Structure 1
């Protein structure tokens, strides 16, 4: 057992004994998914007018006159109706009705509110979305969202494209700002170690598409807000999975909560041999979340994340190599031990309060430390990083007028060494750098709400600087300092939302965004420093409609145009090192649409509920003015952006606890180079999952499931290399895979106090 596993066991053991159980004589009503007490449940004997109603603790008296030969009706507007006969259990678990897309709450560009009335391209994913298929990665949850594509070229190697932003991401997550529980998770240098976070640790995901600089700073792609496991879940949950190619996953979650404080600890361990040669993955993560009530309408939150990640890099293949043997690695990858080792710790403290004046404040600080070990075919990188920063916001409402503002600051110090690689071991030092990066932003926004109309406007000022001291450059036997201060950028946004009907809204917005070069673009792997690389800048105009057009039938459709300048593109040197250039301007037209239908059945015996969802993403992204080495690429499609993508989802809830989920994705061939001479294969991806879940006794909930990814056994890739040297474009994805697992949840019967 590793040191991480031992600490998790200790923490969960402490949780078990922190809160004593308090048994009551009355019946308790709880949510079968979370274990949270359900208030407002109506309990009555059938054919009787008298009823009892559960209180805030989920506690209700058994109706007077009930005997075991009578039937008890248990109803709530948000839950499926239950009819009980005979001896009653100590706890009644209610199943949530199938939720509607528009009913999800999101943060968006201001306070938390229902998605339905949010002015802008926002999507919210719940724990049900994350758990719909296998949970090795976030791909199955995220990739059914129109306009969003999460790629995994090798197990653990993530790239995120929100509205086709993969052009400058040969590896890693760039041009997207990521927050964890409201605090920055994206580093000051623009990179995001998203692969540190196991999906089992997450409770919800929120995605803002398009420029969000008016509130969140750099990133033309958008913003991803991750929220940890919710404190209203079961007292203890164990999840175990196994699958094809040596996949094994185990996670353990424990929670203790009452009205004054809560403690949640989640641990996840995952490993796999991988589909291709030299493609193994191992990851251990532990996440603690604490809430402490420090006064009326005032709370203090503590978040601690530790993750230890290792994965091998099989590398890209040529078309001939791909056709010969899809499972092989790039020649030299295994011999040189091409891989990533990343060990990191992240922690944050947040304070939230509603003051007597009505001002609502959210203030938090965070710290981050990591060790990065990266042998590659051509070199060997070792980096140590320490970072810290914070974010604060304040908000006040006067009638229909709302004013909010805040700021964010990040700073990091990196010790980075590049060495030779001899058979997977570090060799002669090539260059040694000390790097200090910092970024800050300040923003102000205001909005006014009328009965049918809402108007908002916001602006931010942003600053970024890199300071690099090259202690040693073996090639020139020199040392020197390079400073790069990017000019302050003002990023405004104006948005309007109009309520067409009670449940249908239209929205429009104009926003200015920017995305400066990341550290890995400013300072490349082979040691060169590009002082001339400029930030991308663009204006995005968008209109859309969101809401219900009939009972159970909802839509979310938007169209946008992004006019972007100084677009950053990639080129690959003969050594395999990726270099970057500004490519003039691009025109990016897009349409994104989603339609969802939910039906709850009462008359049919075997079907309880059905959800079906379809989405479409259509992009016409082209270079407007781009000439490289006397070759004119103007008018060509942008590499990495699929012109068309169509997805379908369906969830079928069957009586007696059975369920069936299915998903289909059709992605058009994607251009992989600036000249549009190489395209990926069309993707046909089918996912299925079936299972049974129900209550065992009064305290245990069991979910047994199995499924398959790529059920049609098609050949495709979950992400290809762009402008690859030597034609190494292709990163084959696994063929048909299977998985099975179970979730066992234990609920306490103690009352919340």
Structure 2
């Protein structure tokens, strides 16, 4: 009996040792890769399953060759009894191979009936990785401004007109969770770039699925579920006292796993009083409960402090562009913000044709903002969620996809405004309890009328309200509850998509949009309440053509957006930014993106050589805008460059050396509604070069350096519009260098 048991155990050990266990994933997203073919000597030995796993029986070492459409092939020698994690890199992708999840419908981008820009991790790593600005600004129709380190504005097709600071009029989601607060503002600066793996930017009104926001939608996705285990560390340093380091770990646990990271970034800033200090901790979990259920969790803890140097007038700019606005230093004009954001998402597949995805979130926010004119403190709490049901069926024998769901958000904020005495909060001026609520239901049908033609009809019903309960008003003004409930708004969208073949197609859409004023626009810093502000409403007409074949990508879009009740800014003599509805605007635009791979080889010294160009033409005017005796009708829309051109070159070699080169031309920008002051056109050149290799299937190493603003241009990356005293300019950094290393270990 003992001999039989011994032989049985020996057989089991021998059989186990004869197994080669492989786990295969995407090098960027760490998503498992299914259907990877493994062969040896021309013989197919197996394919990876949905979990990216594969087992090959062999009692000897094998030279395995791995292949998957859209990915670079690779070879590895693997011995029996070994477990190995392989990371495969995508080839230079064309549009026919890109899949996006916009409008709650995961489809190839050629089948999407909307203008969508995809920003990948490769786009992020072309620059210094301290912010999202440069990578997003390579996409047509998209412009992110950074008036000071970590002080962002997002403009999609000129939508930042009403955003003197912060992110407004654009809806942002992070891992399918609403990251935009229910009052319409987004604290995008709480995220580090490492918290974003890729992004999809939907340009133009998208309210039929995403609710308020005429500018569009930004869907951000963080690192996905891990395969195997990985430790990583990054360090970077640069001019103006910049330093950044990151520590990360990802670990597969069963069919799920977790990923955690900690990032610290600091800089002294180019200008006086423009330092920034941010620490971000992220913990994400993925749990594959069963074949039907998945659970995802996210925890984000962010601690951000940054100084606000303020705008300069022309004389101050000429005298010394590095100086702060007079008063900013003495009053410690700055922002300190601590936030916790937690979410849980659940995916349930009722059948192969019917599923539901639901996400819920909670967040807290402690905000402190000493400014030249006052001192603001806010303590807020928010919650909300989103759910979407998807059904794939048939109608009249043709494929039909139905999507229906809803979203709800609410926030409560205790807000106090004090006097500012040398950077210290003084006597309270007014104090409010604020509540913002927004919710909507959405429905969408995608019907394939033929193999080549798809019709989309979508609709949402939107509800929103603001409450300001004034507790204290030291000036003797009215106290008590004041409410603004906006009329329910129905937002439709109609679109068609026609595919000429597998690599090209056209689309057209008509979509409505709306954008109610935010609390910061209704409740201004000097204490007034502007509850009469109306929501912006607009209609967008759009046509587009896409081609993705071989080495060539081409994406062309033309649109016309008619916006009514446009919200614009002006500044009173005390320097307080105020808001008003300013009639209507006509916004005509064209967008074009062309990419071409000059070289794509797996054997030559130069493995990849790719060039690309993105052009944005925004020909926006005030259609009907009169303020007092001033008639601005026909003037160019404030803060919008009519022409922007971005050119890119990317080179990668067999030894691992690479070069990324970017040139951006920005046409002159009108800085006031009267079009009497412009920022001059400028040329911005950025480059990054480095070396990256992996060793023994375990180690990953990269060393890099780069230079921003190579031509040493004088420009502002985010001007103040219609300011009092001519303080238009927020000077951006001159030429500056950076360098760093990245290390990763697979275990």
CA distance, structure 1, for counterparts of residue 19 and residue 352 of structure 2: 43
Structure 1 residue 216 and structure 2 residue 215: aligned? no
Structure 1 residue 295 and structure 2 residue 290: aligned? yes
**Residue in 1 that maps onto 2:8:** none
**Residue in 2 that maps onto 1:232:** 226
Count matched residues: 721
Structure 1 residue 52 and structure 2 residue 39: aligned? no
**Residue in 2 that maps onto 1:625:** 624
**Residue in 1 that maps onto 2:520:** 520
**Residue in 2 that maps onto 1:384:** 379
**Residue in 2 that maps onto 1:579:** 578
Q: Residue 445 of structure 1: CA displacement?
A: 1.2
Q: Residue 266 of structure 1: CA displacement?
A: 1.8
CA distance, structure 2, for counterparts of residue 452 and residue 210 of structure 1: 25
Structure 1 residue 119 and structure 2 residue 128: aligned? no
For the 8 Å contact 2:18–2:59, the answer to whether it is kept is no
**Residue in 1 that maps onto 2:511:** 511
Tell me, what secondary structure is at the counterpart of 1:351?
Answer: strand
CA distance, structure 1, for counterparts of residue 68 and residue 541 of structure 2: 43
1:80 to 61, 69, 72: 72
Q: Residue 251 of structure 1: CA displacement?
A: 1.2
Structure 1 residue 484 and structure 2 residue 478: aligned? no
**Residue in 1 that maps onto 2:341:** 346
For the 8 Å contact 1:438–1:466, the answer to whether it is kept is yes
Q: Residue 356 of structure 1: CA displacement?
A: 3.4
**Residue in 1 that maps onto 2:561:** 562
CA distance, structure 2, for counterparts of residue 187 and residue 96 of structure 1: 35
Q: Residue 80 of structure 1: CA displacement?
A: 3.3
Q: Residue 646 of structure 1: CA displacement?
A: 0.3
- Following superposition of structure 1 onto structure 2, how do residues 320-719 of structure 1 map, counting pairs within 5 Å? 320-356=315-351, 358-399=353-394, 400-449=399-448, 450-476=450-476, 478-548=478-548, 550-602=549-601, 605-719=604-718
1:253-275 CA-to-partner distances (Å, cap 9, x unmatched) read 21112453211112111000000
Tell me, what secondary structure is at the counterpart of 2:161?
Answer: helix
TM-score, normalization by structure 2: 0.92
For the 8 Å contact 2:61–2:79, the answer to whether it is kept is no
For the 8 Å contact 1:31–1:96, the answer to whether it is kept is no
For the 8 Å contact 1:52–1:60, the answer to whether it is kept is no
Tell me, what secondary structure is at the counterpart of 2:208?
Answer: helix
CA distance, structure 2, for counterparts of residue 125 and residue 587 of structure 1: 28
Tell me, what secondary structure is at the counterpart of 1:726?
Answer: helix
Q: Residue 652 of structure 1: CA displacement?
A: 0.9
Tell me, what secondary structure is at the counterpart of 1:200?
Answer: helix
1:359-379 CA-to-partner distances (Å, cap 9, x unmatched) read 211112111111110000010
Tell me, what secondary structure is at the counterpart of 1:80?
Answer: coil
CA distance, structure 2, for counterparts of residue 62 and residue 275 of structure 1: 60
Q: Residue 357 of structure 1: CA displacement?
A: 7.7
For the 8 Å contact 2:96–2:503, the answer to whether it is kept is no
1:443-475 CA-to-partner distances (Å, cap 9, x unmatched) read 111120120000011111111111111111111
**Residue in 2 that maps onto 1:723:** 722
Change (3 A) 1:84 1:372: closer
Range moving further from structure 2, 589-598 or 95-104: 95-104
For the 8 Å contact 1:649–1:664, the answer to whether it is kept is yes
Q: Residue 307 of structure 1: CA displacement?
A: 0.4
Q: Residue 23 of structure 1: CA displacement?
A: 9.2
- Following superposition of structure 1 onto structure 2, how do residues 92-171 of structure 1 map, counting pairs within 5 Å? 94-171=88-165
Q: Residue 727 of structure 1: CA displacement?
A: 0.5
CA distance, structure 1, for counterparts of residue 69 and residue 205 of structure 2: 38
For the 8 Å contact 2:552–2:594, the answer to whether it is kept is yes
Tell me, what secondary structure is at the counterpart of 2:652?
Answer: strand
Tell me, what secondary structure is at the counterpart of 1:656?
Answer: coil
Range moving further from structure 2, 50-59 or 179-188: 50-59
CA distance, structure 2, for counterparts of residue 193 and residue 74 of structure 1: 43
Q: Residue 405 of structure 1: CA displacement?
A: 0.9
CA distance, structure 2, for counterparts of residue 395 and residue 54 of structure 1: 30
CA distance, structure 2, for counterparts of residue 727 and residue 147 of structure 1: 28
CA distance, structure 2, for counterparts of residue 125 and residue 524 of structure 1: 35
Q: Residue 480 of structure 1: CA displacement?
A: 2.5
CA distance, structure 2, for counterparts of residue 63 and residue 477 of structure 1: 84
Change (3 A) 1:563 1:704: same
Change (3 A) 1:108 1:77: closer
Q: Residue 79 of structure 1: CA displacement?
A: 3.7
Change (3 A) 1:321 1:213: same
Q: Residue 37 of structure 1: CA displacement?
A: 6.2
Q: Residue 44 of structure 1: CA displacement?
A: 5.4
Q: Residue 118 of structure 1: CA displacement?
A: 0.9
CA distance, structure 2, for counterparts of residue 159 and residue 474 of structure 1: 33
Structure 1 residue 195 and structure 2 residue 189: aligned? yes
CA distance, structure 2, for counterparts of residue 41 and residue 364 of structure 1: 31
TM-score, normalization by structure 1: 0.92
Change (3 A) 1:302 1:722: same
**Residue in 2 that maps onto 1:181:** 175
CA distance, structure 2, for counterparts of residue 228 and residue 23 of structure 1: 37
Q: Residue 695 of structure 1: CA displacement?
A: 1.5
CA distance, structure 1, for counterparts of residue 461 and residue 400 of structure 2: 23
Range moving further from structure 2, 146-155 or 260-269: 260-269
Range moving further from structure 2, 353-362 or 576-585: 353-362
Q: Residue 435 of structure 1: CA displacement?
A: 1.1
For the 8 Å contact 2:381–2:413, the answer to whether it is kept is yes
Q: Residue 597 of structure 1: CA displacement?
A: 1.1
CA distance, structure 1, for counterparts of residue 699 and residue 552 of structure 2: 35
Structure 1 residue 747 and structure 2 residue 742: aligned? no
Q: Residue 696 of structure 1: CA displacement?
A: 2.8
- Following superposition of structure 1 onto structure 2, how do residues 253-332 of structure 1 map, counting pairs within 5 Å? 253-332=248-327
Change (3 A) 1:525 1:137: same
Q: Residue 661 of structure 1: CA displacement?
A: 0.9
1:705-733 CA-to-partner distances (Å, cap 9, x unmatched) read 11111111111111111001100000000
Structure 2, unmatched stretches of 5+, are 1-15
CA distance, structure 2, for counterparts of residue 446 and residue 39 of structure 1: 30
For the 8 Å contact 1:201–1:268, the answer to whether it is kept is no
For the 8 Å contact 1:28–1:37, the answer to whether it is kept is no
CA distance, structure 2, for counterparts of residue 538 and residue 202 of structure 1: 31
1:285-334 CA-to-partner distances (Å, cap 9, x unmatched) read 11111122333221122111110100000000011111111111101101
1:182-203 CA-to-partner distances (Å, cap 9, x unmatched) read 1111111111000001111111
Change (3 A) 1:702 1:363: same
Change (3 A) 1:167 1:37: closer
CA distance, structure 2, for counterparts of residue 676 and residue 466 of structure 1: 34
Tell me, what secondary structure is at the counterpart of 1:128?
Answer: helix
Tell me, what secondary structure is at the counterpart of 1:207?
Answer: strand
Tell me, what secondary structure is at the counterpart of 1:294?
Answer: coil
